[in-house]
Chain A
Amino acid sequence: MPSDLVKEYFRTEHLPHIWCPGCGNGIVTRAIVKAIDNLGLSKDEVCIVSGIGCSSRASGYLDFNTVHTTHGRALAFATGIKFAKPELKVIVITGDGDASAIGGNHLIHAARRNIDITTIVFNNNTYGMTGGQYSPTTPTGDRATTAPYGNIDKSFDLCELAKAAGATYVSRSTVYTANMLIKQIENGIKNKGFSFIEALTICPTYYGRKNKKGEAVDMINYLKENAINIAAYDKLPEEERKGKFVIGELYKSSRPEYTEEYQKIIDSFTKGV
C-alpha cells in the first residue's frame, strides 16, 4: 500500500517507476515531496522541471506542474517558467551528466543570475539511462562502458562549481542521510535565490557493477561510512580526508534575486518611480 505521502504527491496511476531494483532515486524523490509537504506548499504553486536521464523521469511521477524537457536544458526551461511566473516555486530535478556535462553552461549561468530555482542533482556517477558511460562525476580511475581501461578524466566537485558560479545555497547529502537531505531541500526552497543540492545516490546496476561496489546495501554503506559532516570535516587533518567526502550545508550567502531585480525595472515604468 502506498503511504499517505505517496498518495498525496505521486501520480500513483503512473507507478511503478522505471528505476532498477536498488536504485537510490526513489529516496531522493521522496525527500523532495517530504520537503514540499513539510513546507506546506500547495501542489498548484509547485513546478518541477527535469532534463533527460534516469532521475529526470521523476517529474512524471509527481503530481505538480511538471515538465520533462530536453537533455541538459531543464534549468533553461525552468528559467523561462520562473521568470514568466515568479509566483511559482520552481524545482529542477537533474542528474550528474544532465546538469554538469550537456547542461553545464545552463547550471553556471542560472547560479550566476541567482534566479530563485532549487536544483537537486541526483549524482550517481554515471549515465544510467544509456547503460553506464562515464560522467563528469565518475571518479578518476573508475570503469564505465566508455572507460573500459579506467576513466582518466578528473571528476567535478559539483558543489564547488555551483558555489563559484554564484549559487546562494549549496549543500550535499546522500541517500543514506535522507533526513538531512529533506532538511536541505526545505532550506533550498526557502532560500530566495539559486539553491543547489547535490544528492549522492547509487546505481548498483551500472556504476556499482562495473566497479565491483557490491549490492545496493553495500553501496549505501559506503556512503554512510565515508560521508563526513562539514563541521567534523573541517577539523579533520588533510591526510584523514582522503577517500572521504563532505556533506551538509556547505555555503550560504545573500544576494539580490534575478526576478525581483527585473521586477524593479518593470515597476520603475508602471509605478513611475
Chain B
Amino acid sequence: MVDRNVKLMQGNEACVEAAILAGMRFYAGYPITPSTEIAELSSEKLPRVGGKFIQMEDEIASISAVIGASIAGVKAMTATSGPGFSLKQEGIGYAVITETPCVIVDVQRGGPSTGMPTAPAQGDIMQARWGTHGEHSIIALYPWSVKEIFYKTIRAFNLAEKYRTPVILLMDEVIGHMRERIELPNIDEIEIYNRKKPTCPPEEYKPFEVKAGDIVPEMAGFGEGYRFHVTGLTHDETGFPTNNGQIAERLIKRLVSKIEDNKDDIVEIDEYLLDDAEVAIVAFGSTARSCKAAIDVLRENGMKVGLFRPITIWPLAEKELTELSKKVKRIVVVEMNLGQYYLAVDRVAGRYTKVEKYGRVNGDLITPQEIVDFIKEVYYA
C-alpha cells in the first residue's frame, strides 16, 4: 500500500491548500460569512511559506491590494461573499482592463444585500458574469465537492495567469463549509502555469502588445527592470491612455475574444448519465449534488434523466448546450435562485428543446426529492 495523503477537509480549507500549491503568495481580505475560513487559514499558512496575508480595511481595499500585489509580480487571491462581491466589482473591472491575473472567491449566500448570511444561495451567477460595468468577458468556475474545490482553485490560478484575467471561483455556503475526504496530490502531479514574462530589452517592451503566437501580452513585474504604466483608462499597446476609438475598440474586442475564442480550453463540463437521457438537468455547485441523487432515484424508476454540470459556468458552454438541446426532449435548469442561469441556457438551448427552470430562494437546499417530483411532472407533461 502506497502512502497516501488522505484528509478530511472543509471546502474553504481545500481552497486555501490548493491556492498555496498553485503559487498564491499574497492574500488580502475582509471578514465575511461564509468565506471567512479562507482568510483565517491564509493568515495561518501564508507566512509559513514566505507569503503575505493582510486583512484590509474593507472589501474594495482587499481587491485593490490583490491587484497591486499581482502587478508587482506575486500571485494573489481574495475571498468574499455576496455583499463583498458586489463591492469588489470595481476592482474586478480594473483587473479586466489592465489584464491583471488574480483569483476572486465568492462563497455565495442569501441576498440581496445582507440577506441571509449563513444560508446557501446561488444568487450571484449573473453578478459573476456582469457585475462590473462595461463590456467584458470573464471566467468563472464552480466546483461541487471538496476535491473539486481543490483542483478548480489550482485551475483558477492557472487560467488567471494564462489569460491574464481575474478568475471568479464561485462556491456556495454548502460546499464552502462541507467536509469531505480528499486525497491530496503530490506537488509534482500538479500542473502550474505561470505568467509569461518578457525577455526583450526593456526599451522594446510594450506591456499590452500581444506577440505572434501568444494569447496575451507578456507581463513583467515591478522592480524587474521593465518600467511600464498601468491604467484603468482605455490604453494602447504601450499602456498609455488613448481616446482613439479604433484603438479602444481593438482593445475591448481583444479582451473579450481572448476568453470567448478559447472556450475549447477554458470551458469544462461534467456529464452524468446523459448518453441516453431524455431529460437533462443543468446544475452546478451543491445543487448539482442534489440533482445527481435525484437522477439515481429517477433512473431506478425507469426515467432517462441525466446531468449536465458546467464546471466553467462563464463563459457559457454554448456549443455543448446546443448539442445537448438537439438530443434531449427537455432541459431543466435547477438553481438556488429564480432562474439566472436558466436565462443563459434557454437563449442557447431554447431553439431546439423546451427549457424549464426550478429554483428557490428561501435559504434551504434544494432536496433530491423535490427534484424527483418536479422531473416527474416535466417527464410526463
Contact = CB atoms under 8 A, between A and B. Distances in A.
A87 B74 CA distance: 14
Interface string A57-87: 0011001111111100100111111011101
Interface residues of A, number: 39
Given A60-B240, A109-B57, A69 B74 contact: no
Contacts, number: 133
B197 to A, nearest CB: 15
A73 B73 CA distance: 19
Given A87-B223, A109-B61, A269-B48, A80 B229 contact: no
Most chain A CB neighbours (cut-off 10 Å) among B25, B48, B56, B57:
B57
Contact of B72 (A63, A70, A81, A109): A81
Nearest to A72: B60
Nearest to A47: B222
A68 B239 CA distance: 11
A102 to B, nearest CB: 10
A205 to B, nearest CB: 20
B58 A80 contact: no
Query: Interface size for chain B: under 10, 10 to 19, 20 to 34, or 35 or more residues?
Result: 35 or more
A87 B70 CA distance: 15
Contacts of A84: 25-26, 52, 68-69, 72-74, 76
A88 B62 CA distance: 20
Given A70-B90, A79-B61, A80-B26, A85 B56 contact: no
Contact of A69 (B52, B64, B73, B227): B64
Nearest to B54: A83
A264 to B, nearest CB: 10
A164 interface: no
Nearest to B26: A84
Interface in A23-59: 43-45, 47, 49, 59
A45 B62 CA distance: 24
Interface in B218-249: 221-225, 227-233, 240-241
A266 interface: yes
A242 interface: no
B66 A80 contact: yes
B52 A14 contact: no
A79 B94 CA distance: 16
Interface string A252-273: 0000000000100110111000
A106 B57 contact: yes
A65 B223 contact: yes
B56 A68 contact: no
Contacts of B90: 70, 73
B68 A70 contact: no
B57 A59 contact: no
A79 B56 contact: yes
B71 interface: yes
A194 to B, nearest CB: 14
B68 A63 contact: no
A88 B72 contact: yes
Contacts of A105: 57-58, 61
Contacts of A60: 229, 231, 240-241
B30 to A, nearest CB: 11
A80 B50 contact: no
Contacts of B50: 266, 270
Contacts of B70: 80
A85 B232 contact: no
Contacts of A70: 64, 90-91, 94, 232
Interface in A1-22: 11, 14
Interface in A212-253: none
B99 to A, nearest CB: 13
A272 B49 CA distance: 13
A84 B65 CA distance: 9
A44 B240 contact: no
B28 interface: yes
B231 A76 contact: no
A83 B230 CA distance: 18
B60 A83 contact: no
Contact of A65 (B48, B58, B94, B228): B228
Interface string B31-63: 000000000000000011010101011101110
Given A60-B241, A73-B60, A269-B47, A65 B227 contact: yes
A64 B230 CA distance: 11
Contact of B227 (A63, A266, A269): A63
B67 interface: yes
B223 A85 contact: yes
Nearest to A62: B229
A83 B65 CA distance: 9
B39 to A, nearest CB: 15
B223 A262 contact: no
B65 A85 contact: no
Nearest to A43: B227
Contacts of A78: 68
Contact of B68 (A14, A45, A79): A79
A84 B222 CA distance: 10
A146 B224 CA distance: 45
A227 B108 CA distance: 54
A165 B70 CA distance: 28
A225 to B, nearest CB: 38
Given A43-B227, A64-B227, A83-B65, 11 more contacts: A44-B223, A60-B229, A67-B229, A68-B233, A69-B64, A70-B90, A80-B28, A108-B57, A268-B47, A269-B48, A270-B50
Interface of A: 11, 14, 43-45, 47, 49, 59-60, 63-70, 73, 76-81, 83-85, 87-88, 105-106, 108-109, 262, 265-266, 268-270
Task: Identify the 9 closest CB pairs spanning chains A and B, nearest first.
Answer: A80-B68, A80-B65, A76-B64, A84-B69, A77-B68, A76-B61, A68-B231, A109-B57, A65-B222
Interface of B: 25-26, 28, 47-48, 50, 52, 54, 56-58, 60-62, 64-74, 76, 90-91, 94, 221-225, 227-233, 240-241
